[in-house]
Amino acid sequence: MKFLRSLVLMLIFVAFVAGATYVAMYRLDNLGLFDREPVAEEVVEVEPEPPGPYPFIIPTNGRDITPATFEFSFLGQDVSLQAEVDPRIYHGAVMAPRGFMLANDASDAQRLAAMQDYYNKLTFDPEMDDAIISVVTQLRAVRDELNLDGDQYAELMTKFVQTIPYDENRGYVDHESKALGDPRMPVQVLVDGLADCDEKVMLLAALLSHEGYATAAFLYEQEQHMALALASEGEGFAGTGYVFIETTGVSYVSEVPTEFIGGISLQSDPVLLIFDPFEAGKTRGTGSFSDAAAAQVARIVSVRNAAEAAADEKRAYIEETPMSDEDFAREEALFNATISAMNTLRATVDNLGYDTGEFKDRAEAINWIDNNAWWE
C-alpha cells in the first residue's frame, strides 16, 4: 500500500516538473533566447463567402393538385396541353430554398457566375424530368402531325410558353442587396398556370434543352427583365450568337419587341447567362435557329412596320380620288390588307398575356405577305 502511494506521488511530481519545464521553455522562446531560424507564417487566402443554399427539390407530401390546362393555336391548329405532375414534386418545388446572398466583396464576375448557377439549378432539377417529358411528348405529337422542321418546332415550344398568362406580381429582384427573388420552378408554372419573365424563360429553356437546342438568358439587370436566348446559326442578337425570344407575350423568334408587358423599355445592355443542364446529368444541345428563318422574321417585321405608312397613303388616295364602285372595292381591299398586317403580324394578346388567336405564325405570315403585301 505504501508502495502504491509512493508511486502515485512520484508520477504527480514528474508531471509537475515536465509542465513547469514546458512553460519555462515557451517563455524563454518568446523572449528570443533560443537561437533558431524563424518559421514563416503561413498565409491563408480567404475565399469570398460562397452563395447560400441553392434550390433543390425534396419530394414533399401535400394537397392534391390539378395542373393547368393551356390552350393556344399554332399554324391554324388549336392545341390543348396539360402536364402530368406528381404532387410530391410540386410541393417539393414550392418548399425548395430560393434566395441566396453573396459576400459584400464578391466581384461582378462572381455574382453573375453564381446567378447563372442558381438559374440552372432552378431549371434543371432532375425531379422535374417526368413533368417536362409529359409536356414534350404532347408537343412532339403536334410537331409530327404538322410535319414541322427544327425551326418550327422551336417556334411551337415558344408559342406555348408565350401564351401562358403573365403574372406581374412574381419574381422581384433586389439588386441593391444582391439577393434574388422567389421565382417559380418550371414544374410550378405547369401547375399554377401563371409566370413572370424569368419563370417563363426557365420553362422554355427546360423544354428547348430537352429537345436538343442550346439556350441561354438575356438578363437586363437595370430593368429587372429576362428574355430567352436561343442559339443562332448566325451572329444573332447584338453579335451574341443567340437570337432573342421575348416570352411575356406573343412575338416571333428572333424579333426584339419595342413594347413589353408592364410598360418595360429595355435601354441597358444585357448579360448572357448560359443554360447548361450538364450538372443535372444532361447533355447541352447544339440545336439552333436558322439564318433562313431569322431572315423571314426580319422580312415580316419590315412589312409590318411599313404597313402603317401604306395604310395612310391608301386612305388618302381613296378619300381624294373619284372612282367607280368596282375600283373602290379594290382599293378598300388593299387598304384592309395594311390593317391586317398591323393586327396579325404583331403580338395579339390582352393585358394578361392571353393569346387572342389572330397572330400569324412565321410560315403563315410569309405566305400571306407573298399574296397580300402590295406595299412591300
Q: 3-class secondary structure for 115-167? A: HHHHHHHHHCCHHHHHHHHHHHHHHHHHHHHHCCCHHHHHHHHHHHHHCCCEC
Cell (9 digits) for 338: 395594311
Q: Kindly state the average pLDDT of the residues 240-247.
A: 97
User: pTM to 2 decimals?
Assistant: 0.81
Which amino acid, residue 195? A
- Give the model's pLDDT for residue 170: 63
Residues in the chain: 376
- Give the model's pLDDT for residue 257: 85
**Residue 166 pLDDT more than 50?**
yes
* Mean of the per-residue pLDDT values of the chain: 83
Give buried/exposed letters for 191-225 (b at 16+ CB in 10 A, else e): bbbbbbbbbbbbbbbbbbbbbebbbbbbbbbebbb
Q: Kindly state the average pLDDT of the residues 94-105.
A: 77
- Give the model's pLDDT for residue 305: 94
> Which pLDDT band, with edges at 50, 70 and 90, does 14 fall under?
very low
Q: Kindly state the average pLDDT of the residues 261-274.
A: 82
- Give the model's pLDDT for residue 181: 63
- Give the model's pLDDT for residue 246: 94
- Give the model's pLDDT for residue 42: 54
CB 307 within 8 A of CB 314: no
DSSP state of 357: S
- Give the model's pLDDT for residue 176: 45
- Give the model's pLDDT for residue 45: 52
Q: Kindly state the average pLDDT of the residues 122-131.
A: 96
Which of residues 38 and 113 earns the better pLDDT score? Answer: 113
- Give the model's pLDDT for residue 48: 46
Q: How many CB atoms lie within 10 A of CB 115?
A: 21
> Which pLDDT band, with edges at 50, 70 and 90, does 169 fall under?
confident
Q: Which of 158, 119, 166 is nearest to 263 (CA)?
A: 166
Rounded Cα distance, 187 and 87, in Å: 10
> Which pLDDT band, with edges at 50, 70 and 90, does 100 fall under?
low
**Residue 57 pLDDT more than 80?**
yes
Rounded Cα distance, 105 and 176, in Å: 13
Sign of the dihedral defined by the CA atoms of residues 46, 48, 52, 56, in that order: negative
Q: Kindly state the average pLDDT of the residues 280-296.
A: 91
Q: Kindly state the average pLDDT of the residues 123-152.
A: 97
- Give the model's pLDDT for residue 348: 56
Cell (9 digits) for 241: 450568337
> Which pLDDT band, with edges at 50, 70 and 90, does 29 fall under?
very low
